[in-house]
Structure 1
Amino acid sequence: MEKKNMIVYNTTFNIENDILTECIEYLKKSYIPRASASGFLRTPYLRRILQDESEDASSYSVQFHVKNPETLEYWMQSEGRALQEELITRFGTKIVGFSTLLEEIDWEND
């Protein structure tokens, strides 16, 4: 029986530094808990991206495990789009993001 690899839903945010503290607090206390509440998105991570930081902005990654792309699409339609719109309404153009789907590869086993 073929083992299914875990799918990771990653969103990279570029956040202007003048809203950074407020935005990170919002991601921790509201965005991530609400995105996880349904159970479709699991194992959340918030990570700072280490790079040559500009004086104006910093980058962060928000990641969740999701069962499969179909589950993610269902979540996006039922909850995700509204949550993203709320984020944009709150912070406007001072935060921009893009999302990618990643597949975890078990490199230790065949």
Structure 2
Amino acid sequence: MIIYNITFHIEKDILPDCLNFLKSIYIPLATQSGFMHSPRMHRVLPHVDEEEGNSYAIQFRVKNVDTLNYWIEQEGLRLSHELVRRFGSKVIGFTTVLEEVEL
């Protein structure tokens, strides 16, 4: 199982609108096809007070890397472009791909 993590840094002046977009549009569209599932959202706790904004991480489970790459090409890029179209440079993100390891 793969976990696809997207961490967003969101400027404070768009925070309510951006969080609403992520919860009501981005996540439902990301999981609509069934390739991405079990979404979770976390607020990243800062080491110091972040005056410019806050960071949030969204995680999805996905079957394998091939499925993830297919999703990114078919759906993920379109969602990323929509996020940039709506919020411009006031939200930036980076991704991390994690592989679950049995304990």
TM-score higher than 0.5: yes
Counterpart code for 2:18: C
Measure how far apart 1:105 and its partner are: 1.4
Gaps of 5+ in 1: 1-5
CA-to-aligned-CA distance 1:48-103 (integer Å, 9 cap, x gap): 00112311110000100000110011111111101100001100000000001001
Residue 45 of structure 2 aligns with an amino acid whose one-letter code is L
Moved over 6 A (4+): none
Matches of 1:87 and 1:53 in 2, distance apart?
25
* Structure 2 partner of 1:3: none
Match of 1:62 among 40, 54, 58: 58
User: Which runs of no fewer than 5 residues in structure 2 stay unpaired?
Assistant: none
| CA-based RMSD | 0.7
> What CA distance in whole angstroms lies between the structure 2 residues aligned with 1:90 and 1:53?
26
Amino acid at match of 1:94: K
Superposed CA offset, 1:24-48 (max 9, x none): 0100000000000000001001110
Which of 85, 88, 91 aligns to 1:92? It is 88
Aligned to 1:34: 29
| Identical counterparts, % of pairs | 50
What is the total number of aligned residue pairs between the two structures? 102
What's the TM-score once normalised by structure 1's chain length? 0.90
The corresponding residue for 1:47 is 42
1: distance between equivalents of 2:60 and 2:75?
15
Query: Which residue does 2:15 correspond to in 1?
Result: 20
SS of residue matched to 1:55: coil
Q: Distance in 1 between matches of 2:102 and 2:14?
A: 38
